[in-house]
Chain A
């Protein structure tokens, strides 16, 4: 039975790989997922504290400005403040330690701009604010922080205004805040090269200039779409946020972390946007490492599986081969035993009648010689028939003796044999015969072949049989090579008889040692020679093998133990 080793190899290899790789992948994948979740949470946390810190800074900035404004408004009288020279001195003191303020103005309850210090004097001095939105808001609330607007000066700015009640008059102190101050605080949140931070008002309009997504007074939008001719894609609207809000936004190929927090002292919302590629870069790196390690693990598993499977399959092959050889030998041995029993039985049963036939024929012959029937017309016929009977009895006897030779059970002798000398002598018997048909007997003996203990005449019989067969196989013109070798490892002597004859067909090769198997024509061979040789060598503790190639020749190999 021939196994499909290739299929077995694949089955085994894939089973090992499957059972190792699937758990590896599951473990790696869940580790990655866990790591991803923890890391994202950590990033979110740091984003939260970042946005809240920024918010606190902005808050502080506004509280300080408002406090300063209150102090100035309540420590100076309306009279003093409307004096532009006095106001200028105050503005200079304010300005000395801070560049937050752009200008300062005093407005009465009717909206008249009574005093102004700042760069837009010509433009703003004459303005009446009575109808402005912020003017009414400050009159209602006492304090007002505006969104960014263009105002009369047509430049983006925002103001802080406080209302002061003094006896029976009310007046308003208004300052314009330098946008740069807010920008500076917000821009500190631009931690990486791709992060962004900006402030929007309650209408989702930009109050600071973001790094990428738009300009003052626009709706913040993904910068990736800004140059697109299609409609730009706005950022999520956080203008209604009432508490810190964190989220990851992914759509249309965009991926961003957003953190939004309302600023207490104003109606604004601070928004920080982070690019995941950047803040999650350690995670991406980790992902690469994990992929690399997984690939390395897979490679090691695959190599290991292949090597292990190879070793295993080779082992199986070896065992199979041994089993095959053993069962072949066992089969052959059993066959031999059965056949030799049968042969002995047949020989014995045939022998007695044959002996009687021989004697009767002999008696007839005796009588033919004695009686006076030499003159009888059929005398020659009688005589010839009796001769033929004797001849064929002789032939049958020879066959039976051969059979019994095959079947005989005799203790082999134990003699010291010089194998090379034995081969030389045996080949010598046939050299003349071989020369007659132009066949050369080539002798290749190795010097280290030792003297062995075995049965000389039986080995000689076998070698003679093999040499005869070799000469028969060649017919004429060829070479028979007789060689000897010694295998020190196994203490075995090897004898080879090789011919350059016609070879043996593969079909016949396994039948060649069977009794009565012959390829010679009827009457020329009994088919017992090789089977007798085989059983002789086996009884001597040796082995006999044959190799043949049709058209090239045949090699018979005998292995004999040294002792």
Chain B
């Protein structure tokens, strides 16, 4: 790395340096803000998905209580599998 830096020309960061740095920082700041917004959205999606999964598990548990014992067991097993899968993600 130091050998590479030795052959590269030095950046003339004098008077113009602050303007050039400012222009490039603006671009990267905007991209960074965008990525931050996308992260917030992803978190919200994740939360909604978890809520949906919990709701579905409650519904399948409620359905499983009503019919015969055997089907209730299978519903419970399905619910457990879904919970396991959700924790793996």
A and B: bona fide binding partners: no
